[in-house]
């Protein structure tokens, strides 16, 4: 996944608030709802969550858009598609 560690002082999560926020989101929105059985399983769960997080999940810092911006569709019927076995949903007009 390309993740590298950068140690901070013990008991000092405020030294890297962005990483702490991301880790908290991953735990609350994904890992607290799954039983992980090893590293390979963790990678299989995190890959679709990372895709959801970057492509569909809204972020307040992006004015309620996703990091990978998408066009706004004004017509059509709104459909829901389950992501991560129904843990999250993607809504789109078709």
pLDDT digits (tens, 9 = 90+) for 12-70: 877 888 888 889 999 999 999 999 999 999 999 999 999 888 888 877 777 777 778 77
Average pLDDT over residues 69-81: 84
Asked, for residue 62, whether it belongs to a domain, the answer is yes
Please, what sign has the CA dihedral across residues 56, 57, 63, 67? negative
Domain that holds residue 71: 14-93
Asked, for residue 9, whether it belongs to a domain, the answer is no
> Could you tell me which residue, 15 or 82, shows the higher pLDDT?
82
Bridge partners of 82, per DSSP, are 89
Is the pTM value of this prediction over 0.85? Answer: no
Asked, for residue 4, whether it belongs to a domain, the answer is no
What's the domain count of the chain?
1
């Amino acid at each position: 996944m390309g993740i590298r560690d950068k140690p901070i002082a013990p008991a000092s999560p405020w030294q890297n608030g962005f990483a702490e926020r991301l880790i908290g989101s991953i735990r609350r929105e994904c890992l607290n709802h799954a039983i992980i059985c090893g590293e390979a399983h963790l990678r299989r769960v995190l890959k679709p969550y990372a895709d959801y997080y970057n492509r569909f999940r809204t972020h307040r810092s992006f004015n309620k858009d996703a990091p990978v911006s998408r066009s706004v569709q004004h017509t059509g019927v709104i459909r829901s598609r389950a992501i991560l076995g129904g843990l999250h949903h993607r809504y789109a007009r078709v």
